[in-house]
Structure 1
Amino acid sequence: MTLRKKVLIIMGITFFGLISILYFTSRNVLLESLNHIEEENISQDVKRTLNIFSNELVKLDELTSDWASWDDTYEFIVDNNKKYIEANLVDDTLTALKLNFIIFVNLSGQIVFCKGFDLHNEEEIPIPEDLVKEHLFRNSPLIRHESTESSTNGLLLLPERILLIASRPILTSKDEGPIRGALIFGRYLDDAEINRLAKIIHLPLTVSRFNDSQISSDFQTARSYLSKNGSIFIRPLSEKSIAGYALLRDIYGNPALLLRVEKPRVVYQQGKTTIYYFVLFLIGACLASCIVAMLSIEKQVLSRLANIGKTVSTIATTGSLSERISVGGKDELSRLGKNINEMFEKLDKTQKELRATEKKYRELVENANSIILRIDINGRITFFNEFAQTFFGYSADEILGSNVADTIIQEKDSSGANFMTVIEDMKRHREPYTNFESENIRRNGEHVWI
């Protein structure tokens, strides 16, 4: 693997690790903060919705109080005169007051007058039987008022209906007694009413009965939490929406409704988008940094190393020690090039000196008035000086490469000594043969001892 590839791999791993660390760190820190902000926002929206419910009940209670503390009502609960009914308890009155029913109850618990009304179809309807049978008993909080300031308002669940209901003691216009009965106003919390409240808060609003066995899984989770812990529960529904839940109790203090407010996860999505662009920026910045760093390393290190390697390779191929490495700058690579050049200079000088010495030695050997020859371990002649050529009568071209035993030395001399045996012994023991005589043959066949 080349140095360039190693540098690229190391830089790639480094930048990938850096991007990964920054991505996961920013994601965890930023999204955690944004989740907290979202939870705070949806919590405020749930509280605002609860306040709207509370305000609706307060308005209903105040409306009930206005009608209950009125001399005409105070007289009507006793004499049940038709003029009061014809003047006040007509359909237009219930439409204007946005009421679904009005009930007048005397001190004996008897219903003096009641009227039900469908606000959507604008027609009279019966009072729910379950309301009368199960909630208008003698000691019901809707009927029994211990003082002139007594008030009952809240939610009431019927099998088929959910009611916003309010009850006030019937008094004089001066809010004085004695109390003559109770006046009950009610409004159905139906889909239309829920949609009206949703428009007020500008968010989707869903209401479900607390004991409904068919509610969705998110309501089940919220019910489990709200039954044990607090008044508000928050959970993301998806990547795009979050919901806040609250528990509403009825006039008896029992869990009645689960309320859900949904909200788009705008902050969360913006956070994810921010992280996405942040990562793109990091990748771009890292790529740019990688390119700049690679170009810098290429210029300052790799190309100069390549130049050094190329020059050294050329010198190794040609054997020309006169070549020099050209490396600019005043850093480690320039010092390395300088040291290599100094090494080549010394080698070149040594080589020249060696060649001069070898030339002198060759001239000395060639011109010596002595026989000088060199043979290898197999007995082949590898050097034959001019004096030997003249003495034996062979030229260098003729004798070089020939076996000494076949040309200038007999395999067995006149004394019977075997020259090849002597050669083998020479390989093992050189000292005894420092001064050695052997019988030689000149080209003309003359035998001489040398």
Structure 2
Amino acid sequence: MAIRTKIGVILLCAVISFSVVEYCVQQFIILPGFFSLERDEAVKDADRVSKAIKNEIRHLSTLCWDWSAWDDTYDFVQSRSKEYIKSNLVLSTFTGNNLNLIYICDADGHVVWGKIYDAATESEVKLSLFPKDFFPSNHPLLIGNFGQGQTGEDIKGVLITEMGPITVSANPILKSNNEGPPLGTFIMGRFLNADMVLQIAEQTQVDFSLTTFSGSAARLEPKINKEIPFNVEVADDDHLNVYLIFPDINGNSAIGITTNFHRKISRKGYDTVQNSTYSTLIAGMGILILILLSLKLSILNPISILSNHVFSIKKTGDLSKRLLFSRNDEIGTLANEFDNMVSRIEQSAIENDAITKQLCKDIEKRKQMDDQIRHSQKMEAMTTLTAGIAHNFNNILSVIVGCTELAVARLPKDNQAVKLLKKVEEASARAKDIVWQLIRFSQKYENNFLPVQVVSVIEKEIKGVESVMSGKIRIISQLQEDCYPVFGDVNQFQILMKNLLTNSVESIKNGRGVIEVQLANIPDSDAANVRNVNFKNGKFIRLTIRDNGQGIDPSHLDRIFDPYFTTKDFSYGAGMGLSVVHGIVTNNGGSITVDSKVDRGTEISIFFPAAEITGEMTN
């Protein structure tokens, strides 16, 4: 372990110990206080919801009392007046007072009038708790001699129906001065539906929901009693759920109220504890940093620099870096000795690198020489074989041509054999051309070359090819007028240019394309960058033929200079064109390279050594 690390660990342990004590105080003393306060606030919210529902029931009871203690209602129970129904018991009474149920029963329990409406659809509905004709004597909402209430009392609360919970109020039917005897019971009801829940939520500013006791609220009954009327559970990190059970008219569990309390208080407590913890850690780290800085300036920093320097050399391999410490203590001595060691290693690396580079150059040069020797031996063997074949075939061909001409001369012109003999003469002429191509390929020219200005030769051959090719093919020439002269034979250069241009024309698809011809001197400074060229005097010219034809398949590039190798139909030639070109270039001491991409075109570059003019020059 590093010295810096050891000192830092000791100081860090002290800071962490203090932070742990501070954290425990906050977690086990301060935070529980926030949690208790948050629970109390959540219970208060739930209590507000319960009180709001009770308040809604009281308002309903007040409205019901206004209708029940009214002379018109009192008379209606006795007279069954239709005018009362038309004036008071209409749909607008329900919608205007946000009512869903109005029932009027006489003292015997018979239904004088009663209807239940769905406020959403304004259509009449039926509930099993509210029969159409007669309320049994044990019905919880009847008031009278056989009911639960007494004169001047009311019954109010919640009932569970098949359409959900409903708040109801039942009052005795009295005169306007609250005198009796009571003639029956007046019942009003409102569904505790989503609209009423939303209204209560807006009044109390509490997010809550209602469930019937037969649902999820039933599981909470064992946890809730008179001593503990609320049950508080953690829903997630951001919410508390408070559950309470609201009883029905008979005091039985009816609906479960679930309030959703946002845990802002505990979040505030967490933030407070967190900020306090961070403050403690920052203060401790500040003290730790001050102590480390005092050690860093004298000991730790120089050691760190030396260590980083060693790892940097290991990673990058850069041996030119130096520490250059000017200290007179042990660290300075160690740094100076390390610099001396790196200097010696760097010198050895430079020497080894130079040897390696020279060895790579020698290997590459040897490889190129081996390739050239193999190719020269191959072409020499082909040349010898071709010369023998051409000589013997030429002798045979002479006999065929001579005999054919004598036969044609001796036969009448209208003889059918004359036509056949003419075809023999045409085939012999084509064979003669092939023989002469073989002879040109196999010929050696030595010591009888003259300096040739190849510009005029190239221009002449371009004009000759243009005169016979399609007008859709363009030849663009860029010829340097003061190009170096080249030792060679004019006829050979003519054959070379003719073959190259013919190949380019034939490679262009659909007879539409461009051929570029370039001739230029190569400066001495660029000579070393030209591949496969090694001329003694360093001066040479470059002839480039470039087309946008169909290109050459990469697998054929090694064979394009072989005699008789062709990818075209033999009606276009015998595959001797590039072989002859290669032979001419080689005989003139030049070099040839080919770059080609399928469907993109071909570029042939020919390099000739410049001639040193001491006598006659041919153009």
The TM tier, using the shorter chain, reads: 0.5 to 0.7
Map of 2:21 onto structure 1:
21
Partner of 2:85: 85
2:284 maps to: 286
Aligned to 2:256: 258
Partner residue, 2:128: 129
Matched AA of 1:130: L
Between the aligned partners of 1:10 and 1:95, the Cα distance in structure 2 is 78
Q: Return the offset for 1:3.
A: 6.8
CA distance in 1, matches of 2:129, 2:329: 106
> Where does residue 161 of structure 2 map in the other structure?
158
> Which residue type is aligned with residue 10 of structure 1?
I
User: Could you tell me whether the CA contact under 8 Å between 2:110 and 2:133 is conserved in 1?
Assistant: no
Q: Which residue of 2 aligns with 1:102?
A: 102
Q: Where does residue 42 of structure 1 map in the other structure?
A: 42
1:300, distance to aligned residue in structure 2 (A): 11
2: CA distance between counterparts of 1:94 and 1:2? 86
CA distance in 1, matches of 2:212, 2:93: 30
1:227 positional shift? 5.2
Matched, 1:269 2:267: yes
Q: Per the alignment, do residues 76 and 152 of structure 1 end up closer, same or farther by CA in structure 2, a change over 3 Å counting? A: same
For 2:24 and 2:5, the matched residues in 1 are separated by 28
Query: What secondary structure, in the 3-state scheme, does the structure 1 residue paired with 2:285 have?
Result: helix
TM-score (norm 2): 0.46
- Code of the aligned partner of 2:70: W
Partner deviation per Cα, 1:89-135 (whole Å, 9 max, x = no partner): 111111111110100000111000012222222x2403313332899
**Gap change, CA 1:147 and 1:223, over 3 Å in 2:** closer
Measured after TM superposition, the shift of residue 295 of structure 1 is 4.1
CA contact (8 A) 2:232 2:241 kept: yes
1:167 to 150, 167, 170: 170
Structure 1 187/313 Cα, relative in aligned 2: closer, same or farther at 3 Å? closer
1:420-443 CA distance string (max 9 Å, x none):
xxxxxxxxxxxxxxxxxxxxxxxx
2:151 is the counterpart of 1:148 = yes
Q: 2:314: which partner in 1?
A: none
Give CA-to-partner distance per residue, 1:387-437, whole Å, 9 cap, x none.
xxxxxxxxxxxxxxxxxxxxxxxxxxxxxxxxxxxxxxxxxxxxxxxxxxx
After superposition, the C-alpha distances for 1:286-315 in whole angstroms (9 at most, x for unaligned) are 110112234457799999xxxxxx99999x
Measure the CA separation in 2 of the matches of 1:118 and 1:160.
Answer: 10
* Counterpart contact for 2:165–2:255, Cα < 8 Å: no
Quote the Cα distance in structure 2 between the aligned partners of 1:250 and 1:261.
19
Asked if the contact 1:15/1:286 (under 8 Å) is kept, the reply is yes
Q: Is the 8 A contact 1:115 1:125 kept in 2?
A: yes
What residue identity is the alignment partner of 1:112? V
Per the alignment, residue 376 of structure 1 pairs with: none
Distance (whole Å) between structure 2 residues aligned to residue 49 and residue 298 of structure 1: 65
By how many angstroms is 1:183 displaced?
A: 0.2
Distance 1:199 1:102 in 2: 27
Report 1:398-437 matches (<5 A): none
Secondary structure in 2 matching 1:27: helix
CA contact (8 A) 2:143 2:150 kept: no
Task: Please name the residue that 1:320 is paired with.
Answer: none
Cα–Cα, structure 1 residues 211 and 134, in superposed 2: closer, same or farther, change >3 Å? farther
SS class of match (1:130): coil
Residue 234 (structure 1) aligned with residue 241 (structure 2): no
Residues 173, 186 of structure 2: 8 Å contact kept:
yes
1:237 counterpart SS class? strand
Task: Answer 1 or 2: higher relative contact order, Cα 8 Å, separation at least 6.
Answer: 1
2: distance between equivalents of 1:134 and 1:270?
60
- The 5 Å alignment of 1:173-184 reads 173-184=176-187
Aligned residues of 2:110 and 2:135 also touching (Cα < 8 A):
no
Q: Is the contact between residue 212 and residue 254 of structure 2 (CA under 8 Å) also seen in structure 1?
A: yes
CA contact (8 A) 1:148 1:175 kept: no
Which residue of 1 is the match for residue 67 of structure 2?
67
Q: For 1:176, what is the secondary structure of its paired residue?
A: coil
SS at match of 1:277: helix
- What amino acid is the match of 1:111? V
- CA separation in 1, counterparts of 2:160 and 2:239? 30
Secondary structure, aligned partner of 1:281: helix
Return the alpha-carbon distance in structure 1 between the equivalents of residues 218 and 107 of structure 2. Answer: 43
Contact kept, 8 Å, 1:114 with 1:127, in 2: the verdict is no
- In structure 2, the CA distance between the partners of 1:147 and 1:300, relative to structure 1 (3 Å rule), is same
Cα distance in 2 between the residues matched to 1:188 and 1:196: 13
Query: 1:114 corresponds to which residue?
Result: 114
Name the residue aligned to 2:335. Answer: none
CA RMSD of aligned residues (A): 2.9
Distance 1:312 1:291, change over 3 A: closer
Q: Specify the alignment match of 2:53 in structure 1.
A: 53
1:223–1:258 contact (8 Å) kept in structure 2: no
In structure 2, give the amino acid aligned to 1:107.
A
Aligned-pair distance for 1:148?
2.5
Q: Spell out the pairing of 1:160-239 with structure 2 (5 A cutoff).
A: 160-212=163-215, 215=216, 219=217, 222-226=220-224, 230-239=228-237
Aligned equivalents of 1:267 and 1:224: distance in 2?
A: 29
Q: Which one is further off, 61-70 or 123-132?
A: 123-132
TM-score, normalising length: structure 1: 0.62
Displacement, 1:278?
2.2
Q: Distance in 2 between matches of 1:70 and 1:253?
A: 30
Q: Deviations over 1:24-64 (max 9, x none)?
A: 32123222111111111111111111110110000001111
> Bigger shift: 15-24 or 3-12?
3-12
1:120 & 1:277 partners in 2: Cα distance?
Answer: 52
Query: 2:76, 2:40 → 1: CA distance?
Result: 51
CA 114–257 in structure 1, closer or farther in 2 if over 3 Å, else same: same
Amino acid at match of 1:250: D
- 3-state secondary structure, aligned to 2:103: strand
SS at match of 1:165: strand
Runs of 4+ displaced beyond 6 Å: 297-303, 310-314
How many residues get paired?
302
Contact 1:131/1:158 (<8 A) preserved: no
Aligned-partner Cα distance in 2 for 1:221–1:126:
31
SS at match of 1:182: strand
SS of the aligned residue for 2:157 comes to: strand
Percent identity (aligned): 24
| Structure 1 residue identity aligned to 2:137 | R
CA distance in 2, matches of 1:299, 1:134: 101
Task: Check the 8 A contact 2:70/2:174 in 1, yes or no.
Answer: yes
Contact 1:99-1:186 at 8 Å conserved across structures: yes
Distance in structure 2 (CA, Å) of the matches to 1:197 and 1:280: 42
Give yes or no for contact 2:111–2:134 (8 Å, CA) kept in 1. no
- The equivalences for 1:237-386 within 5 A come to 237-295=235-293
Deviates more, 1:149-158 or 1:272-281: 272-281
Give how far 1:162 is off: 1.3
